[in-house]
Structure 1
Amino acid sequence: MLMSSFSDYDAFDSELIKGAVLVSGVFDVRPLTKTSTNDSLKLTEEEAWRLSPMSLVDDIAIQSRHRHIIIAVGEYDPPEFRRQSGEMEK
């Protein structure tokens, strides 16, 4: 939603979306390629990167320059979640 310009939707006012709250997300899918989860997904590292919100962070920043974005992570979340949230915040 943050990447949408909504120009194709005549009835939708893009100003209605004032911001977003991203909570403990997987923003970089690449680490999953080295886990058993990828046995089912069968993603290459390149595919995982293309599917990662972190690969779009510059575009998200441009599209959302007038929106407030909060990135939250739990104190007891796994280190990888905390790392990715910190990277997404930059």
Structure 2
Amino acid sequence: MSPLPQNVAFVTGANGISGYAIVEHFIRQPKLNGNHHSSLLAELQSRCPLPTPWIDPRVEFVAVDFLESVETIISKLKDICAPRVTRLFHFVRA
């Protein structure tokens, strides 16, 4: 079993301007640079699909609706995030 990546960024709101921009930034980083969050990029997708999905093996899509109950959100994200996410970038629409 290969070791988990050291840096995993979890981005919420990738459908918005800021979330989309930071995902674009991370996928342009070198793939094997342990000093950047781009070792693996975990991307949280909101209820709406992305207009242009990224084709990068480091990007993983997880659909979660933040209007659901806290318990539901935790149950969906606990097993995905707890063992590997090291950074969170949270963007919401105002």
Query: TM-score normalised to the size of structure 1?
Result: 0.30
Indicate the structure (1 or 2) with the bigger Cα radius of gyration: 1
Specify which structure has the higher proportion of strand: 2
Query: TM-score normalised to the size of structure 2?
Result: 0.30
